[in-house]
Amino acid sequence: MNPVDRQTPPQQHPLAELSLAPPIIRRLSNGIPVHTFLNSQLELAHFIIQVRTGILHEDQKHIALFTYALLKESSPTYSATEMADLLDFYGAYITVSSGLYHTEISIAIPCRNIPKIFPVLFDCLAHPKYNNERLDIYASLKIKDLEYNSRKTDVRSTQLMLHAIFGDQRTAGQFSTRENLRAVTVEQMQTYHQKTFCAENITVFATGNLNAEAEACLHNLFSQIPHGQASAQIQNLPLPADTSRLITEMMPDSVQSSITLCMVKDGYNAPERRPFSFLSTITGGYFGSRLMQNLRERNGYTYGITAGSVYFGNQALFIINSDVNAEHTQAAIDACFEELKRLQEEPVGTEELESARNYLLGNMLRDVDNSVSYLKRYAFWYSFGLDETEFQQQIQAIRNTHADTLQQLAKKHFNYNNFTRIIVGNTTQLTPEF
């Protein structure tokens, strides 16, 4: 048996031209669009129900999270335990995630069981009967999470960042407390659900071996969702709310410090978004990035560091995050800005550029290498008014972005005073001028 050759890398091949098949789009009688990606080989159907309501739409802290997280426990017919047993029996599961701009309900069901269990699930989604017992349990769990996370520097750093960016103008910037976790009531959840779960706010995405019976079931159910008031588009917010550029919080017993460097930038549809994503990757978006090589590989300040953007509406946040050894707090921050400045002053070398390019192209392929991944990526694009053609546009942008473009973007964005700097942990190590 020949030994495995671990010294010679496999042969590389350029990415061939590739375009994605569009979904079948049907608009129901109430106007809800249903995007279907048929896959005759996939017997586990996947659905994403995207509701345009998120943390930036709230007028009360936690109301979106509580309202949608408790849907599957609020069946008008079955108890929470009975509902869990039903889902288990039919091999179905449901998860809910509430983001800044959207709430996504993800459901997976064996195709053969769709006519049997989807009507029961839909009843939870469209006609929930919230009860105080489940609300109390959920609020208690969130309070325990709050108490546990209060001792974690990384969680606190994120909380301070959101407060600095959004302030009290949006619930995203308000701190979670025991009081506002307990303040949500069944009546408020019911009202919020009626207000937001309407045809104008909903888009459905589906993939799998969906036969005529399954599609008819899906369409008949979602056609019953009533009309209502569409959630308002999120306008450009005056960000950051706190214009001070340095926020520190001391945790004297902490052996590490959490560093968050963030800045406000244009949103997902901005012309420079694609090349900026390339720059973000080289900065801190993968294991071979500048920040990873400096802070981890050369200096051992941290186990890992990340850089990336969070998009919402017409705006975005570019965020650099790391947990570092407490004694190296200042040195780690200095190293971050050292790398940002180097990207401004020196063009990225050919080898580094090609390494990041190949990484990004590989990621693009992984994002769509099966119908479920494609479904999720398409739903994300659609939330910004885009479709499957975004894939090819991103491929072209990755291929055509060069060192001079990256340097110009770094000069525009990576200035020290553009960043809000949040440090939580052993802040005694910070130099006075910082």
Domain extent listing, the chain: 24-222, 246-429
- What is residue 339's predicted lDDT score, i.e. its pLDDT? 97
Which pLDDT score is estimated for 235?
Answer: 80
Check residue 416 and give its pLDDT.
95
Cβ contact 141:148 at 8 Å: no
CATH of domain 24-222: 3.30.830.10
Q: Which DSSP string do the residues of 134-195 spell out, in sequence order? A: HHHHHHHHHHHHHHHHTT-HHHHHHHHHHHHHHTTSSGGGSPP-HHHHHH--HHHHHHHHHH
Those residues with Cβ within 8 angstroms of residue 98's Cβ, 6 or more apart along the chain or in another chain: 54, 55, 64, 65, 68, 69
Indicate the pTM of the whole model: 0.92
Burial of 249 (0-12, 13-18, 19+ CB in 10 A): middle
User: What's the rounded Cα separation, in Å, for the pair 1 and 316?
Assistant: 54
Q: What is the pLDDT of residue 432?
A: 60
Note the pLDDT of residue 128. Answer: 97
pLDDT at 393: 94
Residue 62 near residue 114, CB atoms below 8 Å: no
pLDDT value of residue 345 = 97
* CA gap 239, 164 in Å, rounded: 9
What's the confidence (pLDDT) of residue 14?
67
pLDDT at residue 84, as a whole number: 95
| Residue 322: per-residue pLDDT | 97
How many Cβ atoms are within 10 Å of 330's Cβ, its own excluded? 17
Please tell me if the domain spanning 24-222 has the same topology as the one spanning 246-429: yes
Tokens of 327: 């004694």
Q: How far apart are the first and last CA of the chain?
A: 60
Residue-level pLDDT, tens digit, the chain, 434 residues: 567 777 777 776 666 667 899 999 999 999 999 999 999 999 999 999 999 999 999 999 999 999 999 999 999 999 999 999 999 999 999 999 999 999 999 999 999 999 999 999 999 999 999 999 999 999 999 999 999 998 899 999 999 999 999 999 899 999 999 999 999 999 999 999 999 999 999 999 999 999 999 999 999 999 999 999 999 888 888 999 988 889 999 998 888 999 999 999 999 999 999 999 999 999 999 999 999 999 999 999 999 999 999 999 899 999 999 999 999 999 999 999 999 999 999 999 999 999 999 999 999 999 999 999 999 999 999 999 999 999 999 999 999 999 999 999 999 999 999 999 999 998 776 776 55
Residue 328 has what pLDDT? 93
Query: Phi and psi at residue 147, in whole multiples of 5°?
Result: -65, -40
Q: Look up the CATH superfamily of 246-429.
A: Metalloenzyme, LuxS/M16 peptidase-like (3.30.830.10)
* pLDDT at residue 16, as a whole number: 63
